[in-house]
Amino acid sequence: MKILVINGPNLNMLGIRQPEIYGSGSYKDLCDTVNKHALSKGVDVEIYQSNFEGEIVEKIQSAYNTADGIIINPAAYTHTSVAILDALLAVKVPAVEVHLSDPERREAFRRINYVKNACIKSVCGKGTDGYKEALDFLTDYIEGKR
């Protein structure tokens, strides 16, 4: 089983500020958490990060016929990007959305969410553990257990 994990803008800067919102771990720590959990489950993961909307759209398109599932934290593009929503709808690969924080409990503009309309589940406010929960849910879903 192949799962593509996509992280959006600024997540590569994790750990340098706002630890009270996003935790104190670095982006490498996040990747290590995901890779370790995937290895323990025998799942093949590719982790991708970009600060550019069009690159994220192209990465989602690359999942068509090549990945079994997508885990995506679109970061700020969550609240603005119809292009990312449309790409997820186009490839029709099951996708789970993850947020380190809970955008619903923050500023009003973070309550606008385009991407969730293309996702089978959203995991919010659980820090990097949210990626593990997303991987568990998605693999069960692909295997027909959910």
Query: Which residues make up the interface to ligand CA2 (CB under 6 A)?
Result: 10-11, 13-14, 16-18, 22, 73, 75-76, 78, 99-101, 103, 110
Q: How far is the CB of 65 from ligand CA2 (least distance, A)?
A: 28
Q: How far is the CB of 10 from ligand CA2 (least distance, A)?
A: 4
Q: Which is nearer to ligand CA2, 34 or 68 (CB)?
A: 34
> Is 22 annotated as catalytic?
yes
> Is 79 annotated as catalytic?
no
Chain centroid offset of residue 23 CA: 16
Instruction: Tell me the residue ranges of DSSP E strands in the chain.
Output: 2-7, 44-49, 69-73, 95-99, 121-124
Q: Which is nearer to ligand CA2, 11 or 68 (CB)?
A: 11
Residue 124 Cα distances to 39, 61, 64, 66, 128, angstroms: 23, 25, 26, 27, 10
Catalytic choice (22, 77, 114, 131): 22
Chain centroid offset of residue 87 CA: 14
Catalytic choice (77, 99, 114, 131): 99
Q: How far is the CB of 76 from ligand CA2 (least distance, A)?
A: 4
Q: Which is nearer to ligand CA2, 59 or 99 (CB)?
A: 99
CB count within 10 Å of CB 11 equals 19
Supply the residues annotated as catalytic.
22, 99
